[in-house]
Copies of this chain bind each other. A is one copy, B any other.
C-alpha cells in the first residue's frame, strides 16, 4: 500500500492516463436532451407529482417535509431523491511487482461535465446488479460478492449528499485478489499515488472513487521509519496522530461535543405531496423553486454513442449554483488539525454528520444573507495558504453537471481562536477513527480527505 501511495509511475504514466481519458472523452458522444417528465420511458409521475421507475426500483423523486429545532424551530418542504437500496462502490486491487494496483474504469455518466471520469471497478445499485433493467451483469461483480474475509482492505457503509438524498448509503469496498484478473476494455491498473495525483486536477476522478479511497488507512501499512521517507507533512501527521487517540481535544471530548449536538436537536422528515409545496413548481419539463434557488429536477433522455448506442430516460438533479467545500487546517501542538463542522442536513440518518469547515452553495454567499462561518476566510485565502483548489464533480448518474470547488486551506496566524459551537479541531487520526464507522464523516468531507497529499 505504501509503495502504491508513493508511486506516480505504474504500469502507465500519468500522461498515458490523462491521454486515455481525454481520448475517450473525444470518442464518446453523450447527448442529454431535456424532455417532459410525461415522455420519460419506463418512468411515471404520480398524481402527487413524485417521479418513479415503473419497476418501483432504482430511485424516485419525492416531496418531504422537514422539521427541526436547529438552530431554532423551523420547517420546510423540498423534493428529495429517495434511493433506499445500498449499492456497491467497489475497487479491485492486486499486487503487481510489489506494488498494489487499483483497477479503475473510464466510465461515462450522463451528468458529467466531461463525459468520462475515473471510476471504481464496480459501481452498481442493487437494481443494477440484480438486473432489474434486464441489461448485462455488472463486470467484476462476482469478485466482490465472493470476497473472503482476508481479502478485505476496507468495507464500509457511507452516506451520500444529505441535502439531496434521503438517507442514502453506499457500500464502499476495496478487495485484494491474488489470481489473474481479466482487464476489460476501458479498465486500467493505477497506483494509489496516481489516483491521488489525478484528484489534484479538475473533474478527472469521480465522486465514487473519491469516497472509496478516502477510507484507506495507510498508516496500518507503516512498519518502519523507512516507510515514512518521502511523506509530506500531512502524511507524517496522519501517522503521528493515528497512534494517539488524543489531539487538541481528547477523543472523549470530541465524541462528547458530537453527542451533545445530536442530543440537543431533533430532525423529523415526513412525506408530503411534491406538487403541493408552496415554494416549488411542478412543471412539464422541470420541478423548480419559484426563486430559482438551490436545485431543480429535470427529465432527460440520454443517448450515448460509443461502440454501441445506448439510450434511456431518467430524472437528473441540476444545481442552480456552484458550491464550495473546504477544510481549514492549522498546526496545534505541532500537528495539523482539521476544522470539522457538525452539519445537519435533511437526508442525514442521524441528525448531524461531520462536514468540512465550509460547505455551502456560492449562491447563498452572494444573496445578502449572512455567509456561513469561515466562508469569507476561505474565499480570501492567500495563494501560499492553499494546499489544493480544484473543481470536483458530484455523481453524474444523478446530478447534472454539478461541480464543487474543493479546497484545503492552511490557517494563518490571524485565524480566530474562538469557534462557533458546531465546529471542532480534529487530527487526521481522529477523523480516521470516525471513518471506520458508518454515518459519521459526510461525503463532502470524504471528497476532501481523498485529495490530501500524503506524499
Contacts and interface: CB of A to CB of B under 8 A. Distances in A.
Contacts of A262: 86, 157, 438
A150 to B, nearest CB: 7
A155 interface: yes
B259 A157 contact: yes
A152 B252 contact: yes
A253 B150 contact: yes
Interface in A107-126: none
B153 A252 contact: yes
Interface string A200-239: 0000000000000000000000000000000000000000
Contact of A256 (B155, B253, B350, B437): B155
Nearest to A249: B149
A253 B171 contact: no
Contacts of A84: 266
Contacts of A251: 436
A57 to B, nearest CB: 13
Interface size class of A (residues with CB under 8 A): 20 to 34
Contact of A259 (B171, B249, B255): B171
B263 A154 contact: no
A423 interface: no
A308 to B, nearest CB: 31
A143 interface: no
Contact of A149 (B149, B157, B256): B256
Q: Taking each of A86, A255, A263, which has the highest tally of chain B beta carbons within 10 Å of its own beta carbon?
A: A263
Contact of A155 (B155, B173, B252, B437): B252
Nearest to A152: B256
A255 B436 contact: yes
Given A86-B263, A173-B259, A259-B438, 13 more contacts: A149-B249, A150-B253, A152-B256, A153-B252, A154-B252, A155-B252, A155-B259, A156-B255, A157-B263, A173-B256, A262-B438, A349-B349, A350-B438
Interface of A: 84, 86, 149-150, 152-157, 171, 173, 249, 251-253, 255-257, 259-260, 262-263, 266, 349-350, 434, 436-440
17 contacts: A84-B266, A86-B263, A149-B253, A150-B253, A154-B252, A154-B256, A155-B252, A155-B255, A157-B259, A157-B262, A157-B263, A173-B259, A251-B436, A262-B438, A349-B350, A350-B439, A437-B437
* A-B CB proximity, top 8 nearest: A155-B256, A149-B253, A152-B256, A437-B437, A86-B263, A171-B263, A155-B259, A152-B252
